[in-house]
């Protein structure tokens, strides 16, 4: 198995920064799109923006560990940003799973890379998953951070089959569209310019 070298780590760090920017912009768009404040659409909008970044990372590095490292960066963000401690676990878990899926296709297969991005995009569900699995603790955490009871009641997203399916659908659809566009961009522009390889 090819090992990550210092150059690979530097490239991965740069792409982690770009991915972080996509997540930030996606969250901002989600706030304007859905004013409930529960961030239900933030993961989908993040995925919609990040496809080209993700696919170019795979094309540039193509080694196990790079995707996991980007997931680890996002995990650190969730850990340090005031969410409950366990909010970092989905980013780590889905980062590793995304890396493994891409590795199955040796980071060259179009469909395994696309599936990898869809899996990876679920890593941004940390706060929502905790909202569902640990609702009482999540509400207590928000109240301890100075949020009002009215605000907490407004942002809580109920754990229902409909919400789970709709949330999953939006993430998979956004990741698929953006991932395909990212693959097109890599093949159409970056391969020809010599930036990949």
Express each pLDDT in 12-45 by its tens digit.
Answer: 999 999 999 999 999 889 878 776 666 788 899 9
Q: Which two tokens stand for residue 126?
A: 């940390």
Can you give the residue range of the structural domain that contains 183?
6-191
Q: In this predicted structure, what is the pLDDT of residue 155?
A: 72
Q: Which two tokens stand for residue 119?
A: 């899996």
Burial of 21 per CB tally in 10 Å (0-12, 13-18, 19+): middle
Q: In this predicted structure, what is the pLDDT of residue 128?
A: 80
Dihedral pair phi/psi, residue 195, rounded to 5°:
-75, -15
* 196 in a structural domain: no
* 128 in a structural domain: yes
Three-class SS state of 19: helix
* 133 in a structural domain: yes
Positions of the chain with pLDDT under 50 = none
Q: In this predicted structure, what is the pLDDT of residue 181?
A: 96
Per the structure, how many domains does the chain have?
A: 1
* 85 in a structural domain: yes
Q: Which two tokens stand for residue 73?
A: 């960066």
Q: In 3D, which of 14, 104, 9 has the Cα closest to residue 65?
A: 9
Contact assessment for residue 73 and residue 12, using Cβ atoms and an 8 Å cutoff:
no
Q: What does the alpha-carbon distance between residue 131 and residue 164 come to, in Å, rounded to a whole number?
A: 12
- Rg for the chain, CA atoms, rounded: 17
* 105 in a structural domain: yes
Q: In this predicted structure, what is the pLDDT of residue 133?
A: 75
Residue 192's CB is within 10 A of a number of other CB atoms, namely: 10
**In sequence order, which ranges of 34-65 are alpha helices (DSSP H)?**
42-60
* 1 in a structural domain: no
* 32 in a structural domain: yes
Q: In this predicted structure, what is the pLDDT of residue 96?
A: 96
Which residues contact residue 48 at a Cβ distance below 8 angstroms, ignoring those fewer than 6 apart? Answer: 26, 174, 175, 177, 178
Burial of 116 per CB tally in 10 Å (0-12, 13-18, 19+): buried
| pTM assigned to the model | 0.86
Q: In this predicted structure, what is the pLDDT of residue 102?
A: 97
* 197 in a structural domain: no
């Amino acid at each position: 198995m090819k090992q990550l070298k210092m150059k690979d780590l530097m490239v991965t760090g740069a792409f982690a920064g770009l991915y972080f920017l996509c997540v930030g912009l996606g969250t901002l768009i989600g706030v304007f799109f859905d004013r409930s404040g529960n961030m239900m659409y933030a993961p989908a909008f993040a995925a919609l923006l990040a496809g080209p970044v993700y696919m170019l990372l795979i094309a540039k590095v193509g080694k196990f560990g790079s995707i996991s490292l980007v997931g680890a960066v996002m995990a650190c963000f969730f850990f340090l940003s005031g969410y409950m401690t366990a909010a970092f676990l989905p980013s780590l878990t889905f980062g590793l799973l995304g890396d493994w899926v891409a590795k199955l296709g040796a980071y060259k297969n179009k469909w395994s890379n696309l599936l990898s991005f869809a899996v990876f995009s679920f890593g941004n569900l940390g706060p929502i998953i905790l909202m569902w699995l640990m609702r009482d603790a999540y509400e207590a955490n928000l109240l301890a951070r100075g949020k009002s009871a009215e605000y907490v009641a407004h942002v809580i997203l109920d754990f229902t089959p409909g919400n789970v399916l709709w949330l999953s659908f939006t993430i998979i659809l956004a990741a698929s569209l953006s991932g395909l566009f990212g693959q097109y961009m890599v093949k159409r522009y970056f391969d020809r310019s010599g930036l990949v390889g």
